[in-house]
């Protein structure tokens, strides 16, 4: 394939492994680096030790419990290592040569993709030989993952170095459930479009079932790029990607902000020896009134020069003095063979030297600068010693240093000054937020942080700590994997057993085809009003309506007016909303009557739920004619559980007669009792159906599955326990099922007509 063209990556670029060697694993994590590094003892013997890091901490427990393997480069060039086990995790090393590291890693990954994805703070370089190495190395990682994955396994690919791996895996192993997480930003289209291989990268990522991003804006940037370059339909977080044989595959592009093991950081901070080390650090710095701290990789995206400039101007104009305030700057080495990083180090060290020469005294240094890394224990001591944490990133996917500082401050003290261009700013809104390009604004924020009253510091830090501990790294990983496996664990296509059951169903004189809407005909979206049925649904429903002896109904928990808005039903479709409390059956009128006590209960219900939702981020209220629903889809798992628990307890005491239903990321309270099972029974009576087909996706649909009779067919959409006898992977499969019913019903009609003619 000619480099620089807009053709997708050819799956035939290199041969893939034809047979998967044993052993294989049900969960495979793929990242550029393995979670282990080699140690060489004094006698020359080598051993492996686990690398510190949040990703390792998050995934270790589930990898051990689910027979997992980790695929990656071991950190040493031009050496081959056989797979081995380390601390309960199977390790699958991938060999990389020195020239490949130079072209694939230092070149394309870190001198093309990194600056491009970070808003071109430094100019990216585009070299065809780098791209060719990137394709070649991604193929090697994909081959290793495909060989390690058991049939139907879940494979989770990480970060910008491996953006082609999902598509390569999809082509080689369509049975796999594939997730990808991008740990850095994804740029707006105007910037992304500069990449000569822009379509190939998108195609590589779209091989995944779920693509995770740090920020909502990053996920939106990705979806917009897909629309511009491929024209694929996008709706909410869902992207419809063409699949073989004219079908579509649904890809979810959604934000999952990464975090840290907050409890582990606090545990370290509470150790007496680390607290003593923090006191020693303050003493070694001359016991200034205020210690400000910056902790970064030495990278042009971190805004280190901006913070040094702001601090220098504050010293120069007398707003701060070195006797009162010291800045500690830890700048750990990064990509020291890449030209822009070499220049950056020279620039930072020159600025530090100049500022120290101008303002330091014999007993006080303006900036204590450290160009090396520290072990975690020393970093925790530094966080404890620092009164103000400066995070001035010009562009950052997340910035976990900000979260580490907050987790360590069990004393509830300290001030976080945080760039609004770091992903952490989306969550840590009680920090002092800054635009690092605005030097005067940075100076004002530093002065505000230094002079902030204790009560305000405590109030802000309490709120920050709640956010960090509620959204720790375990919640992040479990949320991603739950979203991935719930949507993709069922294999695509229509099972042969379902085809046979539908053939029998089609022979009944009168058939009712009843369908849930959200999650069945339409994918779940963050905003309920944005839900729309997947392509092909309307045509399939119309085919059924045109057949004699077939009725179609939509059965929803939505209010009927809302259901009409999102489903836009054809004439002849029967409607039931609010779990059967509202009906529209062959009349233009919606039937619902509430008495005075029920209306009073409805007002009390609204008051309680509005108060709960107003106090918990990511929750919202949906009003229904006979009740309300508390949605928690956008909340963290911990916040969602807390909101539902509080609502259940308070309303249970205040209004004990309410009907309570648990759904997928929603809990509903109704003043009048009815279920989808009741709705389906009413529809059966109204239509006189001999057989019923019902399709649904969540726990509220189980009431409908429970009332199905022998000869009826229940279809579960997605994974999870169910009373339904059959299941398909997602809403994109439902039009195919409806089309199959129409085909078989038409064939039955043709047979009967032929028999009558004979």
Give me the sign of the Cα torsion angle 8, 11, 13, 14: positive
| pLDDT tens per residue, range 636-659 | 878 888 899 999 988 888 888 788
Q: Are residues 209 and 343 in the same domain?
A: no
Q: Are residues 113 and 247 in the same domain?
A: yes
For residue 13, tell me if it sits in a domain.
no
Structure tokens at 35: 């979670």
Residue 251: what are its φ and ψ, rounded to 5°?
A: -110, 135
Q: Cα separations (Å) of 696 from 246, 412, 628?
A: 24, 47, 21
**Closest by CA position to 345, among listed 337, 418, 315, 310:** 337
Range of the domain at 606: 600-670
Residue 70's beta-bridge partner residues?
Answer: 29, 91
Does pLDDT of 109 surpass 90?
Answer: yes
Residue 47: what are its φ and ψ, rounded to 5°?
A: -145, 165
pLDDT confidence tier of residue 275, bands split at 50, 70 and 90: very high
For residue 5, tell me if it sits in a domain.
no
Q: What pLDDT sits at residue 592?
A: 67
| pLDDT tens per residue, range 87-103 | 878 999 999 999 999 99
For residue 608, tell me if it sits in a domain.
yes
Q: What is the mean pLDDT of residues 390-413?
A: 95
Give alpha helix (H) positions in 149-215: 165-172, 189-192, 198-205
Q: What pLDDT sits at residue 492?
A: 64
pLDDT confidence tier of residue 245, bands split at 50, 70 and 90: low
The chain-wide mean pLDDT, for the chain, equals 89
Q: Are residues 277 and 236 in the same domain?
A: no
Structure tokens at 205: 């990522």
Report CA 309 to chain centroid distance, whole Å. 36
Residue 622: what are its φ and ψ, rounded to 5°?
A: -110, 120
Q: Provide the angle, in degrees to the nearest 10, between the axes of the packed helices 339-359 and 304-316.
A: 10
For residue 12, tell me if it sits in a domain.
no
Q: What pLDDT sits at residue 486?
A: 63
Residue 369's beta-bridge partner residues?
Answer: 329
Let me know: does 326 contact 294? Beta carbons within 8 Å. Answer: no
C-beta neighbour count of 527 within 10 angstroms: 10
Residue at token pair 């539908």? 502
- CATH number, domain at 417? 3.40.50.2000
Per DSSP bridges, beta strands 432-434 and 415-419 are parallel
For residue 16, tell me if it sits in a domain.
no
Which range among 406-420, 475-489, 656-670 has the greatest average pLDDT?
406-420
The torsion of the CA quartet 494, 496, 499, 500, rounded to 10 degrees, works out to -160
Last residue of a domain, one of 670, 694, 724: 670
Last residue of a domain, one of 205, 236, 255: 255
Residue at token pair 């220049």? 343
3 state DSSP class of 741? helix
Q: What is the Cα Rg of the chain in Å?
A: 30
| pLDDT tens per residue, range 668-712 | 898 777 789 989 999 999 999 999 999 999 888 988 999 999 899
Q: Are residues 308 and 331 in the same domain?
A: yes
Does pLDDT of 489 surpass 80?
Answer: no
Does pLDDT of 271 surpass 50?
Answer: yes
Vertex 218: Cα angle to 216 and 222 (nearest 5)? 120
Q: Cα separation of 488 and 482, whole Å? A: 10
pLDDT confidence tier of residue 11, bands split at 50, 70 and 90: very low
Let me know: does 436 contact 442? Beta carbons within 8 Å. Answer: yes
Does pLDDT of 185 surpass 90?
Answer: yes
- CATH number, domain at 624? 3.30.70.1020
Q: What pLDDT sits at residue 1?
A: 37
Q: Cα separations (Å) of 572 from 542, 545, 578, 654?
A: 9, 7, 20, 42
Q: What pLDDT sits at residue 327?
A: 97
Per DSSP bridges, beta strands 666-670 and 659-663 are antiparallel
**Closest by CA position to 27, among listed 56, 1, 76, 64:** 64
Residue 249's beta-bridge partner residues?
Answer: 241
Q: Cα separation of 380 and 237, whole Å? A: 38
Q: What pLDDT sits at residue 18?
A: 42
Q: What pLDDT sits at residue 487?
A: 55
Name the region of 579 (left: φ>0; alpha: ψ -120 to 50; beta: rest). left
Q: Cα separation of 715 and 723, whole Å? A: 9
DSSP assignment string, 579-619: GGTEEESSSSPPB----HHHHHHHHHHHHHHHHHHHHSTT-
Lowest mean pLDDT among 256-265, 285-294, 391-400, 630-639: 630-639
Residue 26: what are its φ and ψ, rounded to 5°?
A: -80, -20
Let me know: does 512 contact 574? Beta carbons within 8 Å. Answer: no
Q: What pLDDT sits at residue 22?
A: 61
Residue 261: what are its φ and ψ, rounded to 5°?
A: -85, 80
Does pLDDT of 8 surpass 60?
Answer: no
Q: Are residues 521 and 644 in the same domain?
A: no
Does pLDDT of 595 surpass 80?
Answer: no
Q: Cα separations (Å) of 751 from 506, 747, 748, 755, 757?
A: 12, 6, 5, 6, 10
Q: Cα separation of 695 and 735, whole Å? A: 11
Q: What pLDDT sits at residue 2?
A: 39
- CATH number, domain at 735? 3.40.50.1000
Structure tokens at 538: 């309307």
DSSP assignment string, 255-293: E------HHHHHHHHT-HHHHHHHHHHHHHTT--SEEEE
Q: Are residues 534 and 660 in the same domain?
A: no
3 state DSSP class of 199? helix
**Closest by CA position to 32, among listed 163, 223, 226, 193:** 163
Q: Cα separation of 606 and 626, whole Å? A: 11
Q: Is 463 exposed, middle or buried (0-12, 13-18, 19+ CB in 10 A)?
A: middle
| pLDDT tens per residue, range 459-475 | 999 999 999 998 888 88
Q: Which residues have CB under 8 Å from 721's CB, separation 6+?
A: none
Q: What pLDDT sits at residue 745?
A: 93
Q: What pLDDT sits at residue 249?
A: 81
For residue 757, tell me if it sits in a domain.
no
Q: Are residues 212 and 353 in the same domain?
A: no
pLDDT confidence tier of residue 758, bands split at 50, 70 and 90: low
For residue 226, tell me if it sits in a domain.
yes
Q: Are residues 613 and 583 in the same domain?
A: no
* E strands in 609-735: 620-624, 627-631, 659-663, 666-670, 691-696, 713-717, 726-728
Q: What pLDDT sits at residue 734?
A: 94
Let me know: does 560 contact 674? Beta carbons within 8 Å. Answer: no
Q: What is the mean pLDDT of residues 328-344?
A: 83
Structure tokens at 528: 């309920």
3 state DSSP class of 303? coil
Residue at token pair 């909410």? 236
Let me know: does 304 contact 331? Beta carbons within 8 Å. Answer: yes
Which range among 83-92, 254-263, 452-461, 648-657 has the greatest average pLDDT?
452-461
Name the region of 412 (left: φ>0; alpha: ψ -120 to 50; beta: rest). left
Query: How many domains is the chain partitioned into structurally?
Result: 4
Q: What pLDDT sits at residue 9?
A: 52
Q: What is the mean pLDDT of residues 567-583?
A: 90
3 state DSSP class of 521? coil
Q: What pLDDT sits at residue 238?
A: 78
Q: Cα separation of 353 and 362, whole Å? A: 15
Q: Are residues 499 and 585 in the same domain?
A: yes
Q: Are residues 313 and 397 in the same domain?
A: yes
Q: Look at 282 and 530; give whichever has higher pLDDT.
A: 282
Q: Which residues have CB under 8 Å from 672's CB, separation 6+?
A: 581, 594, 598, 626, 627, 659
| pLDDT tens per residue, range 492-513 | 678 888 999 999 999 999 999 9
Edge-first strand listing for the sheet containing 582-584: 582-584, 574-577, 550-555, 511-515, 691-696, 713-717, 726-728
* pLDDT > 70 fraction of the chain, expressed in percent and rounded: 93
Q: What pLDDT sits at residue 20?
A: 42
Last residue of a domain, one of 231, 255, 279: 255
Q: Are residues 530 and 557 in the same domain?
A: yes
3 state DSSP class of 341? helix
pLDDT confidence tier of residue 630, bands split at 50, 70 and 90: very high
Q: Are residues 428 and 512 in the same domain?
A: no
For residue 588, tell me if it sits in a domain.
yes
């Amino acid at each position: 394939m000619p480099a620089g063209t807009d053709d997708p990556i050819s799956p035939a670029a290199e041969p893939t492994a034809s047979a998967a060697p044993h052993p294989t694993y049900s969960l495979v994590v793929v990242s550029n680096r393995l979670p282990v590094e080699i140690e060489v003892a004094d006698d020359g013997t080598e051993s492996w030790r686990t690398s510190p890091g949040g990703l390792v901490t998050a995934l270790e427990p589930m990898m051990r419990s689910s027979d997992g393997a980790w695929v990656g480069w071991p950190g040493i060039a031009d050496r081959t290592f056989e797979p081995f086990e380390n601390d309960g995790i199977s390790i699958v090393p991938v060999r990389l040569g020195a020239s490949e590291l130079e072209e694939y890693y230092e070149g394309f990954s870190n001198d093309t993709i990194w600056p491009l994805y970070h808003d071109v703070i430094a100019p990216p370089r585009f070299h065809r030989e780098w791209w060719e190495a990137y394709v070649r190395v991604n193929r090697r990682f994909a081959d290793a993952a495909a060989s390690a994955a058991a049939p139907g396994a879940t494979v989770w690919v990480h970060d910008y170095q491996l953006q082609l791996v999902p598509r390569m895996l999809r082509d080689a192993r369509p049975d796999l459930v594939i997730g990808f997480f991008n740990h850095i930003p994804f740029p707006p289209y105007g910037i992304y479009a500069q990449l000569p291989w822009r379509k190939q990268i998108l195609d590589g990522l779209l091989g995944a079932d779920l693509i995770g991003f740090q920020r909502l804006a990053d996920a939106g940037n990705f979806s917009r790029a897909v629309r511009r370059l491929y024209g694929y339909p996008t709706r909410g977080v869902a992207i419809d990607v063409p699949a073989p044989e004219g079908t579509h595959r649904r890809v979810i592009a959604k934000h999952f902000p990464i975090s840290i093991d907050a409890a582990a950081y606090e545990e370290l901070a509470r150790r007496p020896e680390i607290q003593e080390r923090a006191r020693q650090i303050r003493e070694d710095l001359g016991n200034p009134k205020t210690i400000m701290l910056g902790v970064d990789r030495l990278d042009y995206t971190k805004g280190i020069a901006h913070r040094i400039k702001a601090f220098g101007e504050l010293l120069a104009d007398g707003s701060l003095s070195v006797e009162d305030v010291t800045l500690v700057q830890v700048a750990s080495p990064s990509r020291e063979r890449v030209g822009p990083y070499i220049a950056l180090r020279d620039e930072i060290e020159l600025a530090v030297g100049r500022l120290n020469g101008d303002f330091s005294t014999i007993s006080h240094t303006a900036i204590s600068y450290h160009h090396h890394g520290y072990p975690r224990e020393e970093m925790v001591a530094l966080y404890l010693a620092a009164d103000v944490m400066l995070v001035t990133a010009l562009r950052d996917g997340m910035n976990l240093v900000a979260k580490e500082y907050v987790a360590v401050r069990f004393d509830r003290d300290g001030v976080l000054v945080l760039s609004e261009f770091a992903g952490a700013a989306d969550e840590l809104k009680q920090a002092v937020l800054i635009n690092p390009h605005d030097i005067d604004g940075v100076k004002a924020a530093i002065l505000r942080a230094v002079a902030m009253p204790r009560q305000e510091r405590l109030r802000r830090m309490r709120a920050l700590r709640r956010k960090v501990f509620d959204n720790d790294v375990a919640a992040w990983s479990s949320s991603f994997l739950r979203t991935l496996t719930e949507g993709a664990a069922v294999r695509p296509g229509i099972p042969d057993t379902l085809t046979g059951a539908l053939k029998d169903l089609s022979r009944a004189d009168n058939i009712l085809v009843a369908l849930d809407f959200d999650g069945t005909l339409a994918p779940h979206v963050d905003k309920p009003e944005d839900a729309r049925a997947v392509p092909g649904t309307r045509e399939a429903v119309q085919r059924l309506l045109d057949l004699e002896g077939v009725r179609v109904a939509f059965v929803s928990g939505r209010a009927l007016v809302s259901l009409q808005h999102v489903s836009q039903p054809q004439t002849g479709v029967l409607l039931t909303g609010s779990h059967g409390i509202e009906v529209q059956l062959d009349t233009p009128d919606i039937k619902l009557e509430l008495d005075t006590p029920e209306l009073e209960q409805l007002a009390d219900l609204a008051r309680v739920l509005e108060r709960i939702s107003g106090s918990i981020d990511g929750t919202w209220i949906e009003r229904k004619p006979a009740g309300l629903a508390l949605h928690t889809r956008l909340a963290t798992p911990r916040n969602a559980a807390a909101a539902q628990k509080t609502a259940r307890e308070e309303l249970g005491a205040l209004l004990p007669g309410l009907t309570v239903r648990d759904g997928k990321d929603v809990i509903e309270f109704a003043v009048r009792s009815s279920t989808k099972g009741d709705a389906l029974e009413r529809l059966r009576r109204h239509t006189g159906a001999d057989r019923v087909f019902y399709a649904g996706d969540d726990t509220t649909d189980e009431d409908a599955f429970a009332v199905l009779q022998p000869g009826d067919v229940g279809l579960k959409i997605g994974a999870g326990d169910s009373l339904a006898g059959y299941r398909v992977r997602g809403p994109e499969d439902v039009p195919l099922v409806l089309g199959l019913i129409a085909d078989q019903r038409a064939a039955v009609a043709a047979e009967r007509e032929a028999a009558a003619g004979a």
